[in-house]
Amino acid sequence: MTKICCIGAGYVGGPTMAMIAFKAPDITVTVVDMNAARIAAWNSAELPIYEPGLDAVVKACRGRNLFFSTHVKEAIREADLIFVAVNTPTKTYGLGAGRAADLRFIESVARTIAEVAETPKIIIEKSTIPVRTAETIKTILAAGGRALDHQVLSNPEFLAEGTAVADLLAPDRVLIGGERTPAGARAVEALAAVYARWVPRERIITTNLWSAELSKLVANAFLAQRISSINAISALCEATGADIDEVAGAIGRDSRIGPKFLKASVGFGGSCFQKDILNLVYLCETYGCPEVAAYWESVVSINDWQKQRFAQRIVEQLFNTVADKRIAVLGFAFKKDTDDTRESPAISVVRDLLAENARVVIYDPQVPERQIVKDVLGPGSESERLTVAVSAEAAAEGAHALVVVTEWDEFATIDFARILARMQRPAFVFDGRNLLPLEKLRALGFRAFGIGKPAAELAAPVIVSETLEPVLAAV
Ligand SMILES: NC(=O)c1ccc[n+]([C@@H]2O[C@H](COP(=O)([O-])OP(=O)(O)OC[C@H]3O[C@@H](n4cnc5c(N)ncnc54)[C@H](O)[C@@H]3O)[C@@H](O)[C@H]2O)c1
């Protein structure tokens, strides 16, 4: 087996296939997509997605054993293994609208494979899909005319955007689900052998098809649930004077809870968490588990509420009106080190501020202006109330408030004294990522607010060391 084809050259297909080509020089990997502009970008000096380290990996093997092409049918015909990494967005129409996964791209790929494959293929679901989608794919393949014994595997992708290359280099685990038949086991082993080039065997887990399919949705639901849980508590912290980072630190030391994914924020974003939870919710309803559906749906509700709560707090603190005030929003990507803006909390926060008639100026180190404007206002629309700046400093010029929405490292090193001099007074900072030193900003003269951070008047009294020393000496 020497030929791999991947259908879908997006955030998953591009980096995962680049890593396979990088680690397995004897395997030819062709990534195909119907989006010609995207393929042209993969073949150019400027890749269509930004991921730290990705440039080097792609450049090491592009043209050697990694190819990007729009010739979908040809690549299918020649491949032994076919990864399917097309998008599976939330349905926006008809039955299950707003919840169920839209599987039309998956189905269309299955139909194309059925139509053009001349030899048996191993078809690998890389996209995140509802449990039992492999059955649909198999049915379509079987109805395709040629009696070929294709195998369908589930191999969900767990990479996180922003750390995709590091995640692919050293994954916590690789999950492969297949049919529990001799042919299924052979297909699972063929795929496992590809990953085993660089992933230790004990990290390659094999399960039945439905377990693998469901595990991806459940993993994302659990991750998002942790964020919503800590964000829910952040509201209580703001009301009581507790500090969410201290609470997270304290509970995270319990080895049963663990410290990861306990960072309070303006809310989660990205193309996956919300979509996958809603997909899980829909599955629960479809399979007759409405209580389970309601439980998981609340994770999304808390996230929506957190985003709205953040925007509302800005308005309230700015004396209940932001009308005609200039608000500088720092960061637009859904998290740092990516240019992906899908479901970014920035979209919701900016829209809420515009609805209050604010003048919003946005700066993001990676997201281009046209993307920002399109995400906030919709394709083809413009507003004089929404502008994009080339730097944080330029955005802050004449602003009433700075609002950090993405945790880009560069925001932590901003010269706030310099920025304060250019802002309106009183100058406000709202840190939606708890990235900034609020006490220092307050000392400079800012009115500074974080997520789950006590406001200045609620903060626990700080005993300065001169006062503390005599007290300690007396004890
Ligand atoms: N983005 C992530 O971090 C991430 C992580 C894990 C899993 N996933 C899952 O992986 C899948 C892909 O996600 P993504 O972020 O890479 O999506 P994406 O939108 O960036 O890329 C999907 C690509 O598939 C192409 N495509 C769709 N139908 C096609 C067809 N019939 N023929 C050829 N090309 C076709 C599209 O043109 C697009 O370029 C989704 O199911 C997603 O849930 C994403």
CB of 161 closer than 6 A to ligand 1? Answer: yes
Band of the pLDDT at 475, cuts 50, 70, 90? low
My answer on whether 451 and 343 are in the same domain is yes
Query: Would the pLDDT of 421 be above 70?
Result: yes
Which pLDDT does position 469 carry in this prediction?
63
Predicted confidence (pLDDT) at residue 458 exceeds the cutoff of 70? no
Whether pLDDT at 464 is above 80: no
Angle between helices 290-317 and 273-286 (to 10 degrees): 150
Sorting pLDDT into bands at 50, 70 and 90, what band is 204? very high
For the chain, percent of residues with pLDDT exceeding 70? 96
Contact 174, 204 (CB under 8 A): yes
- Binning pLDDT at 50, 70 and 90, where does residue 2 land? confident
Q: Is 157 in the pocket of ligand 1 (CB under 6 A)?
A: yes
Residue 171: predicted pLDDT: 98
Residue-level pLDDT at 286: 96
256 and 171 part of one domain: no
pLDDT at 466 over 60: no
Task: Tell me the C-alpha distance between 451 and 232, whole Å.
Answer: 11
Indicate the average pLDDT of the chain.
95
- List Cβ neighbours of 241 (8 Å cut-off, separation of 6 or more): 454, 458, 459, 460
Centre of ligand 1 from the C-alpha of residue 84, in Å: 8
In a domain, 94, yes or no: yes
Contacting residues for 332 by C-beta, under 8 A, at least 6 apart? 341, 344, 346, 362, 364, 367, 372, 375, 405, 406
How many domains, in total, are found in the chain?
A: 2
Nearest-atom number in ligand 1 for the CA of 340 is 1
Residue 231 inside a domain? The answer is no
Instruction: Decide whether any atom of ligand 1 lies within 6 Å of the 86 Cβ.
Output: yes
Q: List active site positions.
A: 272
User: Is the C-beta atom of 87 inside 6 A of ligand 1?
Assistant: yes
Q: Is 429 exposed, middle or buried (0-12, 13-18, 19+ CB in 10 A)?
A: buried
| Cβ proximity of 265 and 434 under 8 Å | yes
Of 115-119, 315-319, 465-469, the poorest mean pLDDT is in 465-469
Average pLDDT estimate for 156-163: 96
Domain shared by 333 and 474, yes or no: yes
Select from 86, 109, 116 the residue to mutate for testing ligand 1; criterion: most ligand atoms less than 8 Å from CB.
86
pLDDT computed for residue 216 by the predictor:
97
CB atoms within 10 A of CB 335: 22
Residue 15 structural domain:
3-199
pLDDT beyond 80 at 465: no
Checking 136-145 for CB contacts under 8 A at 24+ apart, the result is: 136/103, 136/106, 136/107, 136/110, 137/106, 137/110, 140/107, 140/110, 140/111, 140/114, 141/110, 141/113, 141/114, 143/114, 144/111, 144/113, 144/114, 144/115, 144/117, 145/114
pLDDT (0 to 100) of residue 471 = 61
Domain assignment of residue 54, yes or no: yes
DSSP for residue 462: P
The mean pLDDT value for 335-364 works out to 97
> Are 176 and 316 in a shared domain?
no
DSSP state of 47: -
- Residue 278, pLDDT score: 97
C-alpha 342 to ligand 1 mean position (Å) = 12
> How far is 26 from 288, CA to CA, in rounded Å?
48
**Residue 147's pLDDT is what?**
79
pLDDT digits (tens, 9 = 90+) for 353-412: 999 999 999 999 999 999 999 999 999 999 999 999 999 999 999 999 999 999 999 999
The pTM assigned to this predicted structure is: 0.93
pLDDT tier, 457 (very low <50, low <70, confident <90, very high otherwise): confident
220 C-beta closer than 6 A to ligand 1: no
Domain for residue 75, yes or no?
A: yes
Q: In which region does residue 138 sit, left (phi positive, over 0), alpha (psi from -120 to 50) or beta (all else)?
A: alpha
Residue 228 domain flag: no
Strand order in the sheet with 28-32: 66-69, 28-32, 3-7, 81-84, 122-125, 151-154, 174-178, 204-208
Cα of 366 from ligand 1 centre, angstroms: 20
| CATH number (domain holding residue 321) | 3.40.50.720
Q: For residue 284, give the nearest of 273, 275, 271, 297 by alpha carbon.
A: 297
Asked whether residue 465 falls in the same domain as residue 356, the answer is yes
Which atom number of ligand 1 is nearest to the Cα of residue 105? 28
* Domain match, 139 and 253 both: no
Please state which of the ranges 12-16, 69-73, 317-321, 465-469 shows the lowest mean pLDDT.
Answer: 465-469
CA of 11 to the centre of ligand 1 (A): 7
What pLDDT score does 468 carry?
A: 58
Q: What pLDDT, on a 0 to 100 scale, did the predictor assign at position 456?
A: 76
Chain segment 97-143, per-residue pLDDT in tens: 999 999 999 999 999 999 999 999 999 999 999 999 999 999 999 99
Does one domain contain both 362 and 470?
yes
Q: Say whether both 172 and 83 belong to one domain.
A: yes
Residue listed under structure tokens 């494959």: 117
Please report whether residue 396 resides in a domain. Answer: yes
User: Of 199, 226, 258, which residue constitutes the final position of a domain?
Assistant: 199
Q: What is residue 430's predicted lDDT score, i.e. its pLDDT?
A: 98
Sheet with 386-388: strands ordered across:
386-388, 359-363, 326-330, 401-404, 428-431, 447-450
- pLDDT tier at 65 (50, 70, 90 boundaries)? very high
In a domain, residue 17? The reply is yes
Q: Does one domain contain both 282 and 142?
A: no
How many CB atoms are located within 10 Å of the residue 242 CB?
Answer: 17
Residue 144 pLDDT exceeds 90: no
Shared-domain flag, residues 112 and 249: no
Top mutation candidate among 87, 154, 278 for ligand 1, by most atoms within 8 Å of CB: 87
How many other C-beta atoms lie within 10 A of the C-beta of residue 189? 13
Q: What is the 3-class SS of 200-263, one letter each residue?
A: CHHHEEEEEHHHHHHHHHHHHHHHHHHHHHHHHHHHHHHHHCCCHHHHHHHHHCCCCCCCCCCC
Q: Ligand 1 centre and the CA of 126: distance in Å?
A: 9
> Ligand 1 pocket, 175 CB below 6 A?
no
Asked, for residue 408, whether it belongs to a domain, the answer is yes
Residue 467 pLDDT: 60
